[in-house]
Amino acid sequence: MAFEDLLPDVGDMGKFQILQTFFLAVPLIFVGSHFLIENFTAFVPEHRCWVHFLDNTLDLLNVSGDLNFSSLLKLSIPLDSNGKVERCRRFLWPQGQPLGPNVTGQNLSQLEMEPCVDGWVYDQSLFTSSIVTEWDLVCDSQTLKSLPQSIFFAGILVGYLIWGYFSHRFGRKWMLPPSYLMVAVSSTGAAFAQSFPFYCCLRFLLGFSISGATLSSGTLVMEWTTSQHRPLVTVIVGVSTILGHLFIGVLAYGIQEWRKLQLVVSAPIFAFLLTTWWLPESAGWLIVHNKYDDALKVLRKVAKINGVKDETLTVEALRSTVEMEPVAAETHYTMLDLVRLPILRTRILSLSLAGFTTRMLYYGLSLDLQNLGSNIQMLQVLFGASAFLSRVGGLFVMNRLGRRTIAVACLLLAGLFILPSAFLPQGILRVVLAILGISCTVICMSSNAVYSTELLPTVVRNTCKGFIFMGDRIGAMLAPLVNTLRHNIAALPQIIFAIIAITASLVVFFFLPETQNQPMPDTIQDLECGHSREEARPREEGDRAVKISQF
């Protein structure tokens, strides 16, 4: 019998589970906003070269009165193939010198050009500032715009490995306070960064600390919830992060200065440090680490909060109910053990590919709003709303269709929606296909959060998730870099996203089993026995007969 069979004895979805989910979900709204905040803090406005006699008041007064600003602009900045002002070049006039009376007769096509050696002038009609305008991340430096995004996800990648190990070694609860503190300090510090390298360092630290907060809180919620209610709490936690994406889009309508926006979504996280102290440790983690006395205390605490009588809860009852030998509980698995076991290796690799794909698709589309349209606040709100509805809708289909069916179908559909959008111009149809692709990806992410927990045994669950989340974040980290390939071939990013999505759907279909309505494995032995239900049933029945005969 699995540990989760104990939960109905203390209340499987009572007051405690509701309070725990609430106090862990609300901080994720602010944490989630940092994933897509650079749609606004790294916004690239329209820009052109700074020109002396256009942008210097004294020089402008010396220019012939017969020339208006529009004429001077055409005489200063060349036009591109679309008839728009060039962003990165200007005509090589004697800068700082007044224009002659015959300047309009010059043959502009024969004039030499130069890069924007004196800087740029930025359009401030939508946002008054961003890291792009502050540190001139345009033209030859335009690829640096994606660097903080990739560094942020690299921090999450490293964090999942380290926090996953610490969470397995020292417990889920005690990882929350330090991770929340690091999130608050690094995100607030980014609002005061005075240099681009320092800003990038803080983004890495922010990603590193966010991984600890999301990994520990998500696992803690899942391990206090039965299989029946697990999809609900998973969707609630996931919806909290999506609300953060929606929240940042709404805030961007009223806050046009990047430092203020960064500060508004960062400072409140300090308050959430106070909400972590009352949370009990995962009883499942305590049991598999042979800490039965501590597990009994937290179970009785939860039973008291839920208003359930707990006279039958004893250490002996825990041992007999969980049916775990002390040797199994005390067994420690290294990271190499995870890849040596064939069943576990297959599941880790398949889940890693699925996570890699969903995160690459989601952030590849969500962090590329400027290529879909000009009103990025509205697009962010639309994407956030569609992702919210998809999370909620995923709850209804998760228990009806099964985890594997959802993963396969959503990955396949996401690829099929994204592929034709690669060959469409900006417009409503392209936005609709992107929203449909985002929706399928979000449903798959919701299902996979439950799916990965149900496929992995408790004794190594967080360590395994560290590897799986590493695949997630590699996908997220590469997404902004894949989008930069658009400068070479416009349709290439979407083609890559579609091919990876279709491939991942086939891998999940052929290599992962269904877990719907099945108990979570607690040990490696449970995993091996339950890998093939038909083959495992005789062994399970034989083991049960032996245990009955012993009593």
Helix ranges restricted to H, 402-487: 403-421, 428-455, 461-483
- What is the arithmetic mean of pLDDT over 392-410? 82
Q: In this predicted structure, what is the pLDDT of residue 500?
A: 94
Average pLDDT over residues 59-74: 59
In terms of domains, do 450 and 461 share one? yes
Q: Are residues 7 and 72 in the same domain?
A: no
Phi and psi torsions of 114, nearest 5°: -145, 160
Tell me the torsion sign for CA atoms 66, 70, 71, 77. positive
**Who has greater pLDDT, 227 or 270?**
270
Q: How far apart are CA 39 and CA 241, in angstroms?
A: 16
d(CA 22, CA 278): 13
The one-letter amino acid at 126: L
Per-residue pLDDT tens for 328-363?
444 566 667 677 778 888 888 899 999 999 999 999
pLDDT bucket at 17, cuts 50 / 70 / 90? confident
Indicate whether 356 belongs to any domain. yes
Look at residue 544 and tell me if it is in a domain.
no
> Picking from 62-66, 129-133, 216-220, 513-517, which range would have the lowest pLDDT averaged per residue?
62-66
- Please indicate, yes or no, if residue 540 is contained in any of the structural domains: no
Regarding whether 62 and 36 lie in a shared domain, the answer is no
**Does pLDDT of 122 surpass 80?**
yes
- 427 φ, ψ (degrees, to nearest 5): 170, 180
* Mean pLDDT value of segment 128-148: 89
Q: Quick one: pLDDT at residue 548?
A: 31
Could you tell me if 220 and 333 lie in one domain?
Answer: yes
Handedness of CA 135, 137, 141, 144 (dihedral sign): positive
Q: Are residues 210 and 284 in the same domain?
A: yes
Residue 29: Cβ within 10 Å count: 20
Backbone torsions φ then ψ of 467, nearest 5 degrees: -70, -45
Residue 154 has pLDDT above 60, yes or no: yes
The more confident residue out of 391 and 203 is 203
The pLDDT tens digits for 202-213 are 999 999 999 888
Q: Please, where are the H alpha helices in 171-195?
A: 176-190
Give the residue numbers spanning the domain of 59: 47-122
- The CATH number assigned to the domain holding 386 equals 1.20.1250.20
Domain shared by 197 and 78, yes or no: no
**Residue 107 pLDDT greater than 60, yes or no:** no
Higher pLDDT, 459 or 221: 221
Q: Residues of the chain with pLDDT > 70: what percent?
A: 83
Asked if residue 495 has pLDDT above 90, the reply is: yes
Of 83-92, 132-141, 380-389, the one with minimum mean pLDDT is 83-92
Three-state secondary structure readout of 282-302: CHHHHHHCCCHHHHHHHHHHH
Residue 29 near residue 244, CB atoms below 8 Å: yes
Q: Do residues 252 and 361 both lie within one domain? A: yes
Average pLDDT score over the chain:
80
54/35 same-domain check: no
Q: What pLDDT does 183 receive?
A: 94
In order of 446, 470, 508, the CA distances from 344 in angstroms are: 21, 16, 14
Quick one: pLDDT at residue 139? Answer: 87
- Render pLDDT for 232-250 as a digit per residue (tens, 0 to 9): 787 788 788 888 988 999 9
Stronger pLDDT, 71 or 49, i.e. the higher one: 49
Distance between CA 210 and CA 180 in Å, rounded?
A: 8
Span 453-471, mean pLDDT?
77
Q: What is residue 549's predicted lDDT score, i.e. its pLDDT?
A: 33
Taking alpha carbons only, the member of 272, 113, 123 closest to residue 187 is 272
27, 207, 294, 456 from 166: Cα distances, Å: 21, 17, 19, 18
> Using one digit for the tens of pLDDT, what is the confidence trace for 297-328?
888 888 888 777 766 677 776 776 555 444 44
**106 lies in the same domain as 247:** no
The pLDDT assigned to 105 comes to: 45
pLDDT of residue 537: 40
Residue 530 has a pLDDT of 59
State whether 209 and 79 are in the same domain: no
Mean pLDDT of 421-437: 87
* Distance between CA atoms of residues 544 and 116, nearest Å: 78
Question: Does residue 484 sit within a domain?
Answer: yes
Under 8 Å between Cβ of 534 and 540: no
Q: What is the Cα gyration radius of the chain?
A: 28
Tell me, yes or no, whether 508 lies in a domain: yes
Residues 342 and 447 in one domain: yes
Same domain, 177 and 212: yes
Residue 532: inside a domain, yes or no?
A: no
Residue 121: φ, ψ to 5°: -110, 125
Helix (H) or strand (E) holding 391: helix 376-401
Residue 551 falls inside a structural domain: no
d(C-alpha 345, C-alpha 49), whole Å? 55
Does the pLDDT of residue 53 top 80, yes or no?
no
> SS3 for 133?
helix
Q: Which amino acid is at 208?
A: F
CB 451 within 8 A of CB 231: no
Whether 507 has a pLDDT exceeding 50, the answer reads yes
Could you give the count of Cα atoms lying within 13 Å of 390 in the half-sphere of its Cβ? Answer: 26
Question: Are 359 and 202 spatial neighbours (Cβ–Cβ below 8 Å)?
Answer: no
Within a domain: 62:
yes
Q: Is 260 exposed, middle or buried (0-12, 13-18, 19+ CB in 10 A)?
A: middle
Least confident window among 23-27, 113-117, 155-159, 525-529: 525-529
Give the number of domains in the chain: 2
pLDDT at residue 96 in the model: 46
pLDDT bin (cut points 50, 70, 90) of residue 190 is very high
Q: How many whole angstroms from its chain centre is CA 471?
A: 12
CA distance 493 to 498: 9
DSSP code for 124: -
DSSP annotation of 523: S
pTM of the full structure = 0.78
Taking a C-beta distance cutoff of 8 angstroms, is the pair 160, 70 a contact? no
| The Cα angle at residue 483 between residues 199 and 44, in degrees rounded to 5 | 50
More confident residue, 161 or 406: 406
**121 three-state secondary structure:** strand
